[in-house]
Amino acid sequence: MSMTTIVPEQVDLIVGNRHHDPFEILGSHPIEQNGKKFWAVRAYLPNASAASVVLPEQRQEYPMQTVHHPHFFECSIEVAELKNYQLRIKEGEHERVIYDPYAFRYPNLTDFDLHLFGEGNHHRIYEKMGAHPTEINGVKGVYFAVWAPNARNVSLLGDFNLWDGRKHQMRKGPTGVWELFIPEIGTGEPYKYEIKNFEGHIYEKSDPYGFQQEPRPKTASIVTDLNAYTWTDQDWMEKRRHTDPLTQPISVYEVHLGSWLHASSSQPAKLPNGETEPVVIVSELKPGARFLTYRELADRLIPYVKQLGYTHIELLPVAEHPFDGSWGYQVTGYYAPTSRFGRPEDFMYFVDKCHQNNIGVIVDWVPGHFPKDGHGLAFFDGSHLYEHADPRKGEHKEWGTLVFNYNRHEVRNFLVANALFWFDKYHIDGIRVDAVASMLYLDYCRQAGEWLPNQYGGRENLEAADFLRQVNHIIFSYFPGILSIAEESTAWPMVSWPTYTGGLGFNLKWNMGWMHDILDYFSMDPWFRQFHQNNVTFSMWYHHSENFMLALSHDEVVHGKSNIIGKMPGDTWQKLGNVRCLFSYMFAHPGKKTMFMSMEFGQWSEWNVWADLEWQLLQYDDHQQLKQFFQDLNHLYRSEPALYTQDFDREGFEWIDCSDNSHSVVSFIRRDKNSDDFVVVVCNFTPQPHAHYRIGVPEQGFYIELFNSDARGYGGSNMGNLGGKWTDNWSLHSRPHSLDLCLPPLAVLMLKLDRQKTAEVM
């Protein structure tokens, strides 16, 4: 039966891609004429020369007629119910049969979903937004949803429609979310959104909620099923839920996956199913090299970190980013682990393997800014959607990036859900939030007149502070036992205090003051250190004010700063002694620990993002001995609860003597929270040894020399105390007993009372 049920103006809206809801015109529609009920089926099929409606169950086919346009087709069918019909389409000499996307009118987003999203409280909005393989009425396909409230039209682009935005126009809901179900496609499909603003300008965007992206330089998102991987870390996850990480040893190995080690591009990476991973060339600076995959990194990085004794691996941002030289800190795909190293399930495998080896995974997270790349979030729907319109609030000119509008509910929801997403889908154990100071201060790196004050006339970004509180409150509510670490370099109060006390809700904060003081101190000639004792002692006065992490990170070994060993004065022996002294003091100091890759074997050159670490140095004894030093230091740290159970309590630390600046020596005690055990620490920050150096101690008995950073096995002079010392009944430093020690040059001693041996003798 043939009849026209539509006017030319309606057809023009579809053909011109100017209709906010193509379902009003396309698809199947019940009509009544002359007392009879029919179904009108309409389809806009660019490039089609003929089309018909196929009813598979009835084995009937109805030719469609062109209406008002050579590629707009319609037919009327007299049936009681029209469900799961198909379209037979002829395009030149080719013919295909498809399900009509506009026959599936069931939205995945409910009114309640949209309400929560609109108020910024849909914690798992990533389960709704983006691309999700699903099944409707027995037909498998992919449901797409994207937030673009200021767009005139949004269409899907992909191989499934030859990247033609006319073929799959999306429907706009009342809150600015566009959606469409496309039948008969599945995982592995690349796609983008074609977005038109009201001026007709077209923007091709990757999916803000996309779970995977094509390897650079391509920028399309890829349909992915994140529920396909089978996890084997249930014991780890359950133990984490019931553990307070602040009372545990935390020694973090910070790594950039793209420059830790490379492989030859002539050796393709094999996948579990026998296929090979596409080769991702690194750089012209390293011809013929490719990145290791997540699975290869699991096989090589994890055993290395485990051998060295670190408790966690911290990854510089693994979210998708277009430029290698950004180190990952300019993110375009917040929900997609970078495809440089493989697929999402490969990254899941990496995390899973870490957990099987009792290693936690921390991921750097970047909610402070995003790049201006055309396929990303910038000017997403033809308006300043994710960023502030006013550059005085919306742009970091120093970095050439844009600032999120934390005051907009949907933007805040995007970021809050993203933090939760990495814990939920990838089982990570912590986030380190990058550049928190840039978020908290409206005048960060801005001159007078280049920033806008808050509502009270101040420089504090109140919306960003509220956002950070919301993030931390939510992730700890869902995942107790995790870490949320702030890279915050200012005196903003209560960064690591709970949100219910008015704090920002992190449970750790990088101690940037300690880092600057200690590196300044160790870069001095040792003779001058006597005049700068405060650099060593000052941090002890405030160590309990926040939950601090001591970090010597990637930022300290780039941009002309030299690597750690290069910062040290003296000849090679003294440089290595200074390195051992610095890190021994760091591990004895209250606070958790983070250090960047290459420091553990004494790389001389600065970190180069394009190259491998200088693994060839390990052929030399000096560098092998330094690596052994770090291995022993980590294992000592993990075996002595006094060094970690009271990092943030006054009771966990007490000075023995901090005033001997003439010798540049300090001594202190670290105490265990759950026993009477304690560790005595003595640091000699000069190359001058001291044969009879006496310190006061709280109890009499035999003190084992647990650790000596000057040991021969580490390349030191092997001075020490022959395994330990008995106390003398000489009071000193307001203590009833004392030890007569030999202090090696540029070294740290750690001693512990041997209660059993003491009891046997006394």
Q: At what angle do helices 344-356 and 409-426 cross, to 10 degrees?
A: 60
DSSP characters over 585-612: HHHHSSSEEEEETTGGGT--SPP-TTS-
404 touches 370 (CB < 8 A) = yes
In the set 277, 320, 345, 487, the catalytic residue is: 487
Measure CA 269 to chain center. 24
Cα 516 from Cα 109, distance rounded (Å): 50
Element (H, E) at 573: helix 572-588
Cα 152 from Cα 196, distance rounded (Å): 6
Which residues, in sequence order, are bridge partners of residue 690?
A: 743
Cα 309 from Cα 252, distance rounded (Å): 10
| Interacting residues of 637 by C-beta distance below 8 A, sequence separation 6+ | 249, 251, 309, 587, 593, 643, 644
Please list, residue by residue across 371-388, b when 16 or more beta carbons sit within 10 angstroms of its beta carbon and e when fewer do.
beeebbbbbbbbebbbbb
Element (H, E) at 270: none
Give the number of other CB atoms < 10 A from CB of residue 334: 25
522 touches 575 (CB < 8 A) = no
Cα 607 from Cα 605, distance rounded (Å): 6
The token duo for 197 is: 């603003």
The token duo for 644 is: 């970690």
202 touches 166 (CB < 8 A) = no
CA distances from 379 to 383, 403, 702 (A): 5, 12, 69
CA distances from 362 to 473, 630, 648 (A): 18, 20, 21
Long-range contacts of 390-398 (CB under 8 A, 24+ apart): 390/452, 392/446, 392/450, 392/451, 392/452, 393/442, 393/451, 393/452, 396/369, 396/438, 396/444, 396/445, 397/445, 397/446, 397/450, 398/445
CA 169-172-177 angle, to 5 degrees, is 115
In the set 74, 207, 429, 434, the catalytic residue is: 434
The token duo for 45 is: 């099929």
Nearest to 409 by CA among 176, 599, 639, 205: 176
Cα 70 from Cα 143, distance rounded (Å): 29
Whether 487 sits among the annotated catalytic residues: the reply is: yes
Entry field: residues in the chain: 762
17 touches 155 (CB < 8 A) = yes
Cis upstream peptide for 217 (omega within 30°): yes
Please list, residue by residue across 609-631, b when 16 or more beta carbons sit within 10 angstroms of its beta carbon and e when fewer do.
beeebbeebeeeebbbbbbbbbe
Backbone angles phi, psi at 438, to 5 degrees: -65, -25
Give the number of other CB atoms < 10 A from CB of residue 56: 12
Neighbour-count burial of 545, counting CB atoms closer than 10 A to its CB (0-12 exposed, 13-18 middle, 19+ buried): middle
CA distances from 593 to 43, 102, 103, 528, 588 (A): 62, 56, 57, 27, 10
Residue with tokens 């389409």: 89
Residue ranges of alpha helices (H) inside 589-704 are 621-639
Long-range contacts of 13-21 (CB under 8 A, 24+ apart): 14/44, 14/72, 14/169, 15/44, 15/69, 15/71, 15/72, 15/166, 17/153, 17/155, 17/165, 17/166, 17/169, 17/196, 18/152, 18/153, 19/153, 19/169, 20/152, 20/153, 20/171, 20/172, 21/171, 21/172
- Residues with catalytic function: 434, 487
